[in-house]
Copies of this chain bind each other. A is one copy, B any other.
């Protein structure tokens, strides 16, 4: 096991709830999860962690740089493991599937747009909402 190290390095002491949340993300079974998603998946697997703790831990992990938070439409934040490389998202309006992409041209153009207007970019979010045209889309999971 190496999770305890991750937490230590992040300056967080290694507690049971934190280890459970972290390994859920590291399990890879679901890459983008809301607090509610995490809470329910943990309950389902027999590990019960308080909902308040889930929220707290997700925020701490975000601050520690272990997770990245996204604000998609629909109100609830979604988290994913921080794998170091920035990327943007396409969300399927039919099935909710989230696909990741990174486009150098778009990234470069954003810098130019900002610079031209006297801004220095801190962060950005590009969310494309679309319909899968492929059969892989279960249209309403």
Chain A positions within 8 Å of B, measured between CB atoms, are 71, 73, 75, 90, 92-93, 99, 101, 103, 105-106, 109-110, 113-114, 117-134
Known: A93-B122, A119-B92, A120-B133. A128 touches B114 (CB 8 A): yes
Give, as a whole number of angstroms, the nearest-CB distance from A5 to chain B. Answer: 31
The secondary structure that dominates the A interface is strand
User: Which of B103, B121, B130, B132 is close to A130, meaning CB atoms less than 8 Å apart?
Assistant: B121
Are A114 and B126 in touch, CB under 8 angstroms?
A: no
Bound CA–CA A110/B102 (angstroms): 10
Are B122 and A125 in touch, CB under 8 angstroms?
A: no
Give, as a whole number of angstroms, the nearest-CB distance from A123 to chain B. Answer: 4
